[in-house]
Structure 1
């Protein structure tokens, strides 16, 4: 029994020894490197820069009141068209009591002054008609009477303005009616009936009644980083892709590149603007996020190879030409210098060194023993 056990242990030890030897022998064998073989091909290469941003109206106008008060009526809602001069909302004036009292007092004083001046004028007019008073004296009193009537009218207009925001004789110029200053679409109406509003003046921006924009005149506003900005220029064609409109791309023309960049997360970014061409059957909402694809350069009918098959050494570029049979197990290569041109990030143009009939070493495939 013991003899059988010893023999079994010996056999097991021998198997382990042989297995270890085989494993170490396989580990020390040189790995045979196998590469994919690629051929140069005629292609059209394009170099593009991509900018992210949004599509928005070129000019968005904020409509603000020229008088303080309470919103009494709102005639327009967001999304509705509006024409220049059309009324968007109406403001009811809440007069200041001190100002109102002063205006009423001015009317009373002007009325008293007019009555006195009228009596004086009528008395002088009677004397003038009788030939007692000279014409110069009569004309002087007539002028004073006219001034008194005008002063009363001005005082009454001022009282109406304090009370209602507009005088009756200038009703067509009422600033209690908030009108659109441009033709376009109402984008937002941030106020409601009953809201207090403040007039726009030199010391206050005023309350925004509505924002209006021409939705047929849209631009793309985005940013490109400093590595791309040197390659673009005004007038370049731009292709806009809008995330909310999957199957639609818009043509645009680059019209502005910021002369100064701003740092964002350690990268210098430059603002760009492109005028978008909106088809009549497409409605673009303000604020849509979009990507701008800017065509920097284009080469047609050039010899190109995958950029991954190129080796760089200083300022020189090389490829490895296959010198063995393409069906041979052991691949052999010869290094050759080439000149390259435009690259789109995947393929690169070869300007010198290749004819297009060569076989070139590509990326490494799964190694075999």
Structure 2
């Protein structure tokens, strides 16, 4: 009985060894890879970079009041097109009691001074007509009377300005906020009832509205310090808008910042470019945009696909493998080359290859069977 068990165990071990050998042979048997080849060809390469930014008006004007008060009426809405002089809003003046009392007191003092000057003027005019006083003395009295009359007018005008915001309620009154330039109203950051502060030497004042000409737009973006040195004023740009698909606008670089700003560990330089608008495309202020900039361009140069490049592990210099003999023999030799600019797809060949060379595609995919389906892995 023991012998039978022993023979069974030996048979199981032999069968197991045979199965393992067959599995090992099958799993390690790979079909031969046939590498493809391609020849260098003549083409053009553009090395580009992309600057992110936005499209904004070239000039944006903020309209501020010349007098403090409360917004009584807003006559226009955001998006309205205006001409210089168009009425945007009206301000209701809320006078300061102390200033109002002082102005009223000044008016009263001017009236008293004028009454006194008139009495002296009338009395001396009679004497002058009789030849009692000289013309010089009479002229001095007349000058005093005229000055008192003018002072009263000035005091009354100041009082009206403090109380109502204007001396006579004319169309040019400070309470009427008007557009100073032609364009489109981009924003009205106040509403009726808001209190506003006048613009003066000590305060910028409250912005009533911002106006810009949307026909004159610029691209404002930033580029990395590694690329800013390759830019030149006048370089053409291609602007693509995030909000308008399939539209590409032409622009021309007009400004490169002399100083960079560090952002998230990288130094960025501000650039600006004049955007050429299109009649069928309405550009709104603040659209996010990308500017494609050609840093370097070469025409009619010898190139190969960048994917066929290999790099030496020690020197990190590029090389390719060249087919020797017929393609069917699949024999290759190493060839060191010198490369130029690249656009990420093709790379310029400066030396080391000719148009007749056949370059090996070393990263050929290998078919592997999975069940009844055949897939490819790198």
Question: Common fold, TM-score beyond 0.5?
Answer: yes
Render the CA deviation track for 1:106-135: whole Å, top value 9, x for unaligned: 111111211111111011001111111211
Say if 2:323 is the partner of 1:325: no
Counterpart Cα distance in 2 of 1:8 and 1:258: 88
Counterpart Cα distance in 1 of 2:178 and 2:50: 41
Q: 1:248-263 maps to which residues of 2 (within 5 A)? A: 248-263=247-262
Counterpart Cα distance in 2 of 1:167 and 1:5: 126
Give the TM-score, by structure 1 length: 0.92
Q: Which residue does 2:74 correspond to in 1?
A: 74
How far 1:85 moved relative to its partner?
2.2
Residue-pair matches, total: 366
How far 1:41 moved relative to its partner?
2.0
Q: Which residue does 1:177 correspond to in 2?
A: 176
Q: Which residue does 1:115 correspond to in 2?
A: 115
Say if 2:159 is the partner of 1:159: yes
Q: 1:13-24 maps to which residues of 2 (within 5 A)? A: 13-24=13-24
How far 1:318 moved relative to its partner?
2.1
Q: Which residue does 1:245 correspond to in 2?
A: 244
Asked if the contact 2:308/2:363 (under 8 Å) is kept, the reply is no
Q: Which residue does 1:46 correspond to in 2?
A: 46
Secondary structure of the structure 2 residue equivalent to 1:161: helix
Structure 1, unaligned stretches of length 5 or more?
Answer: none
How far 1:79 moved relative to its partner?
0.5
Q: Which residue does 1:57 correspond to in 2?
A: 57
Secondary structure of the structure 2 residue equivalent to 1:278: coil
Asked if the contact 1:34/1:364 (under 8 Å) is kept, the reply is no
Counterpart Cα distance in 1 of 2:345 and 2:128: 106
Secondary structure of the structure 1 residue equivalent to 2:362: strand
Structure 1 residues 10 and 324, CA, compared in 2 at 3 Å: closer, same or farther?
farther
Counterpart Cα distance in 2 of 1:5 and 1:362: 58
Mean Cα deviation higher: 86-95 or 309-318: 309-318
Structure 1 residues 367 and 315, CA, compared in 2 at 3 Å: closer, same or farther?
closer
Higher relative contact order (CA 8 A, sep 6+): 1
Structure 2, unaligned stretches of length 5 or more?
Answer: 369-378
Give the TM-score, by structure 2 length: 0.90
How far 1:195 moved relative to its partner?
0.7
Q: Which residue does 2:337 correspond to in 1?
A: 338
How far 1:232 moved relative to its partner?
1.4
Q: How big is the alpha-carbon RMSD for the aligned residues of Structure 1 and Structure 2?
A: 2.4
Secondary structure of the structure 2 residue equivalent to 1:292: strand
Q: 1:118-137 maps to which residues of 2 (within 5 A)? A: 118-137=118-137
Q: Which residue does 1:208 correspond to in 2?
A: 207
Counterpart Cα distance in 1 of 2:195 and 2:291: 42
Asked if the contact 1:63/1:211 (under 8 Å) is kept, the reply is yes
Q: Which residue does 1:363 correspond to in 2?
A: 362
Render the CA deviation track for 1:35-65: whole Å, top value 9, x for unaligned: 4423212222111111111111111111111
How far 1:324 moved relative to its partner?
4.3
Counterpart Cα distance in 2 of 1:3 and 1:167: 131
Counterpart Cα distance in 2 of 1:148 and 1:4: 145
Counterpart Cα distance in 2 of 1:74 and 1:238: 40
Structure 1 residues 7 and 368, CA, compared in 2 at 3 Å: closer, same or farther?
farther
Structure 1 residues 230 and 315, CA, compared in 2 at 3 Å: closer, same or farther?
farther
How far 1:25 moved relative to its partner?
5.3
Counterpart Cα distance in 2 of 1:116 and 1:64: 43
Counterpart Cα distance in 1 of 2:177 and 2:133: 55
